[in-house]
Structure 1
Amino acid sequence: MRARLRVLSTTLAASAITAALAAPVNAPALADPGTAAGEASANTPRERAPRDGKRQDALLRTFAADTWKSLAAMVAPATGLPSDGISGDLATPDTVTSPTNIGGYMWSTVVARDLGLIGYREYGVDGIGIQGDGYTSDQERTQTDPGYEGCRPAAPASFGDGVVTPHAAFLALPYARNAALDNLVKLKADFPSYGPGGFYDAVAVRTGKVSRRYLSLDQSMVMGALGNVLAGGTLHKHFGAGEVAGRLKPILGLETWNVVLPPAQRPR
């Protein structure tokens, strides 16, 4: 159990970092823009993100409902387990899953319940997780070297066709709500990136190509972020306190976090 929880803590930390950088490198081939309904026209006025809190919540709840639709479509009726992904029309789920997908689906059901999208009585999940290898952020798979303080400086990189994943913007909502929502509205308006199950997996922003797939892990992170924003920090309440926190805190305390604070923020 301890080994599994250690892997879980490493995975969750890696997910928050890599999600902000790129779409998974094993994402399916990107489709040409304009090949699906909802193609943005150059003459169509750009939709602007609302600034009123109630209208923002309404828009985010729409994203939550559509994202949950894709997650629900991924579940195999015979097993009740979510698949690794599903086609953009929500018709053809994959035939494999992983502990990460199962755990993400579990926390997404908590969010869906607290947002009133579904009703159920009980939920629970064992220690889960897989080791993340890190991702690159463009089609050319450009590697970066952030350097190490006191050892070597960061090496500049020349990026190509940058690939972004909408779920990373959702993860930023609690910290930069207006900027994150601006990003999501622009992705939805400028690219055919939104389907019947919410945002598709990834967008190559230079060529406009879209990966018309839904990934279970991505959609689970969207649901988790929306739950924290719209349902009063629901994941923090359910998984960051009480018995869960008591069991995880000693495990997390064993980790050595490779985070370098700016000099002005270091304790004296």
Structure 2
Amino acid sequence: MDYTKITETPSNHDDLERMDTATILQKMNGEDKKVADAVALVIPQISKLVDALAERFKSGGRLFYIGAGTSGRLGILDASEIPPTFGMPHERVVGLIAGGDTAIRKAVENAEDDRIQAWKDLMMHNINSNDVVVGIAASGTTPYVLGGIKDARANGLLTAGITNNPGSPLAMAVDIPIEVNVGPEFVTGSTRMKSGTSQKLVLNMISTALMIKIGRVKGNKMVNMQLSNDKLVDRGTRYVMEGLGVDYDEAEALLKKYGSVKKTLEEEGK
């Protein structure tokens, strides 16, 4: 396939080892400033994915992220934050990484080169045609991701891909390509930098917009969050105070009675 692998093109900066610390950081920051603008250009594609996800979620569908290395870890990070933030069951948004859970902390050699393992991993979750699979790969060429996407699509699932190489094999293989062109990395080829940052931004947008669309946010509040520590109980209490116009002690007592901000507001706001 004829396309330019932008993630491997030379950095805009050279002689990095000769720079003083402040210069290194300033130039890195200058490159990072380009990321949000690059993400803004793909909002139409992200929007298409979110709307499709919301429709499927209302019918019991799920979201699966598949990736390797940094991309896989970012998918797992996003998925792992959905239950505490929005009160959704862990199995509704799932992150899978080449090499399994071991690879979250330590690289597993050659795991990303296995073209059939991603589908095996997905099958462990009884994947079905109501689910959506999002492949994440800065290069757009990771075999683990490509294999999983092709198998998912062949089995009737909606697929999307987040990549930093427009026109890459991943972009060509999915139903909804999200191609974020952040340009060359500060350290040539180090996609944990701008590429990874752009992936984190896109994942934030996908999951947060999805949770809003399916009713897990009220106003601008995380009314379905799990009250799993003192900080979150305090936050929930303040949400109740604002929503019902009561003092802190009463809000806290009501919150503990009903067990969630949403139920408290629904029951006491009648």
Same fold, judged at TM 0.5 (above): no
The normalised TM-score by structure 1 is 0.28
Larger radius of gyration: 2
Larger helix share, 1 or 2? 2
TM-score (norm 2): 0.28
Higher relative contact order (CA 8 A, sep 6+): 1
